[in-house]
Amino acid sequence: MAGSPSISIAVLGSGGAGALTTGNSLLETASAAGWHGLYTRTLGPQIRGGEAAGLLRLAVHPVECLPDQFDLLIGIDWLNAHRFGAEIKIGPQTLVISDPQGGEPPPMVTETGARVVEVPMKDLAKTIPEGRPNMIALGIASRLLGFSTEQVFAAVKNRLADKGPAAIEASLTGIKLGFSAAAAIDFDKRLATPRANSNRRWLLSGNEATALGAIRGGIRFAAAYPITPATEILEWLAPNLPKVGGALLQAEDELAAINMIIGSSFGGTPALTATSGPGLSLMIEALGLATSAEIPIVVVDVMRAGPSTGIPTKSEQADLNIAVYGLHGDAPHLALAPQSVGDCMFTTQWATYLAESLQTPAIILSDQFMGQSRAAIERPADITFIGARTVAADIAGAYKRYATAGNGVSPMAIPGLRGGQYTAEGLTHSERGTPTSGAADHLAQLDKRRDKLEHFNFGDHWASIEGTGDFAVITWGSLTGAAREATGRAAADGLDTRLVAPRLLAPAQPQQMAAALEGAKRILVVEQTHGGQFHKYLRAHYDLPASVRVLNRPGPLPITAGEIHRAITEWR
């Protein structure tokens, strides 16, 4: 039978069932076998023992969004599973594996015409000492997807390495039982064989990719205050920064964290912190300080649903406004957004390079979906952007830290350089850096800070621009993958569609956007906000053709490729 382009599996369970471990193990098995994959999880509100679902999509090609519908759903039990109804879409084509002892299947199973096959996973697990139903489920899923027991064993042994031989033995036996139980089940979706290639591949989360990109970009100091869903960035940096001669300091709050990285950067060490919306709000004042004093820093905002405390575990794109417009006064700075798990690495590295080159803060708008999803990807190409701060040397005469001559980037004296002494200032200052309230100085420094950004050549990385046609989809961040899939489907139907996804949100790039939209007659803006922030931002900074529609929805549910595709075809 022909291989499917992609296949999607959801595994549910509660009360310590270990559904997420099943999902992760499947991802690891598949990626070791050469597949690309994207894995995310969704949880109930409890800290332990809650209902949980692992959502996995596997394919031969890179996967950057979840599917419109799942092919296989395994319910280790159905307790409180109705919570996931909106997120886990299934239909008549879906195979559902259900444990007769697992409680009542929710409406999403019983009312969609899905095919239900019962397997007594809990009872089977009881036949093994220390047996666990999630390993039975793993066996079932692996068999249905066409993996061998060896492939699954390898992944599980790795995962359970520090749990002892008894636990490993129990798991392997459970997987074997699951394999046997699945032997009789009909499942006609199969993954196509992955093409053998010599490219190295990685398995990592967006947060891990962000952290690695930071170190590659030259970051050697991080200040950390934990916040969901950004904490993993800091947790990866804590042991790894010292390995490259750097350091991480835990701060007492976000106010301390942002000021610590400013202090580090002032002393010559590129620095970063990571937070989410509430933390970014606290950091706004100091971001203005760094902008005014022209001190490079990198702040990652892993966006979650807002406002205020919002939904800490869910994704949204509504921190655009605060990132671009949040600073009081006229304070232009950098704002960027990665477009996929893998792109988190590139964008963070590039943002560090830009911040250092332009002596200004860079805010990176990642989000919970990219940050906490794991993806099996091709190892990204090495890129040589590394922080390129213009540093003063050999000072003759009175040093002017904020000299306005040239492209607006003035050499920065690093403490220790004789003759370079100056006081970095949040107060409006003269070229020398001394406080002033004069009109000419204020204007000169505002011009300097604006011009240094406007004169900079950001090159092609400023946006992903793909496709042809007079219909264009404009989106950003984690929706880029879904939009790419949607425009791909439209093109396959003969509807040529462009995709424009800016990676650089601030400063705006009017000339480049005009070139990207040349000839486009209809624009579909897609964003995960309630208030249409991205649409308004586009209108504020760019000329758009007369015909614009907006597909926007706030979190927690992602906008799927199917929805975007429908919006495109309905407008034709």
Partner 1 sequence: MSSVETRPATKPADYTSDVKPIWCPGCGDYHVLMSFTRAFAQLGLPPEKIVVVSGIGCSSRIPAYTNCYGFHGVHGRSLAIAAGLKVTRPDLTVVVASGDGDGYSIGGNHFLHACRRNIDMTYVVMDNRVYGMTKGQPSPTTEPDFDTALSPGGTGLNPFHPLVIALASGANFVARAFSGEPKETAGIIVEAIRHPGFSFVEILSPCVTFRPDEREWKNLVHPAPVTATSEPAKAARRIMTDDGFNIGILYRGARRPYQARTEDQNIDLADLEKDFEL
Partner 2 sequence: MSKTPSERPVTSVADLLALAYQIETDAVQRYSELTEQMETHNNQDLVKLFRDLARAEGAHAEEIRKMAGDIDLTAHAERLARWKKGGSPEEADLGAAHYLMTPWHALQLALTGEKQALAFFTSILDTANDAKIKKMAAEFVEEEAEHVNLVYRLLRKYPKPSDAWSEDDDPPAPQD
User: For binding to partner 2 (CB under 8 A), which residues are involved?
Assistant: 14-21, 43, 45-52, 77, 79-80, 103, 129-130, 132, 134, 166-167, 228-229, 231, 309, 312-313
Assess contact for 501 and 339: CB atoms under 8 A. Answer: yes
- In terms of CB distance, is 215 or 501 closer to partner 1? 215
- Residue 186 burial (10 A CB sphere; 0-12, 13-18, 19+): exposed
Q: Count CB-CB contacts under 10 A for residue 49.
A: 12
185 binds, among partner 2, partner 1, none (CB under 5 to 8 A by kind): none
- In terms of CB distance, is 171 or 265 closer to partner 2? 171
In the complex, the smallest distance separating the C-beta of residue 229 from partner 2, rounded to whole angstroms, is 8
Across the strands, what pairs with 104? Answer: none
When asked if residue 204 is in the footprint of partner 1 (CB under 8 A), the reply is: yes
- In terms of CB distance, is 251 or 337 closer to partner 1? 251
Kindly list the distances between the CA atom of residue 97 and the CA atoms of 56, 75, 109, 120, 149, in Å, as whole numbers in the listed order.
16, 6, 10, 10, 19
**Candidate residues 108, 128, 289, 513; the one interacting with partner 1 per rule CB under 8 A:** 289
Q: Which residue has the tokens 């301390």?
A: 256
H or E stretch at 241: helix 231-243
In the complex, the smallest distance separating the C-beta of residue 536 from partner 2, rounded to whole angstroms, is 30
Give residues 213-272 in contact with partner 1 (rule: CB under 8 A): 215-216, 220-221, 223, 240, 242-249, 251-253, 255-269, 271
In the complex, the smallest distance separating the C-beta of residue 422 from partner 1, rounded to whole angstroms, is 7
Q: What is the CA radius of gyration of the chain?
A: 26
When asked if residue 344 is in the footprint of partner 1 (CB under 8 A), the reply is: no
- Amino acid code (one letter) for 426: G
- In terms of CB distance, is 53 or 260 closer to partner 1? 260
As a whole number of angstroms, the distance between CA 25 and CA 33 comes to 12
334-336, strands of its sheet edge to edge: 247-250, 221-224, 271-275, 297-303, 361-367, 334-336, 504-506
- In terms of CB distance, is 51 or 485 closer to partner 2? 51
As a whole number of angstroms, the distance between CA 69 and CA 276 comes to 30
The interface mask with partner 1, positions 13-42, x = CB under 8 A, is: ------------------xx----------
Tokens of 405: 């001559």
Assess contact for 19 and 134: CB atoms under 8 A. Answer: yes
H or E stretch at 295: none
Residues 6+ apart with CB under 8 A from 380: 342, 345, 346
When asked if residue 419 is in the footprint of partner 1 (CB under 8 A), the reply is: yes
- Amino acid code (one letter) for 241: L
In the complex, the smallest distance separating the C-beta of residue 167 from partner 2, rounded to whole angstroms, is 7
467 binds, among partner 1, partner 2, none (CB under 5 to 8 A by kind): none
- In terms of CB distance, is 14 or 349 closer to partner 2? 14
H or E stretch at 224: strand 221-224
435 binds, among partner 1, partner 2, none (CB under 5 to 8 A by kind): partner 1
- In terms of CB distance, is 142 or 259 closer to partner 1? 259
**Candidate residues 81, 233, 286, 538; the one interacting with partner 1 per rule CB under 8 A:** 286
18 binds, among partner 1, partner 2, none (CB under 5 to 8 A by kind): partner 2
Widest Cα–Cα separation across the chain = 86
In the complex, the smallest distance separating the C-beta of residue 29 from partner 1, rounded to whole angstroms, is 11
- In terms of CB distance, is 22 or 31 closer to partner 2? 22
Assess contact for 422 and 399: CB atoms under 8 A. Answer: yes
Beta-strand pair 334-336/504-506: antiparallel
- In terms of CB distance, is 386 or 515 closer to partner 1? 386
| Chain residues in the site for partner 1 (CB under 8 A) | 31-32, 200-204, 208, 212, 215-216, 220-221, 223, 240, 242-249, 251-253, 255-269, 271, 285-286, 288-289, 376, 379, 413, 415-427, 433-435
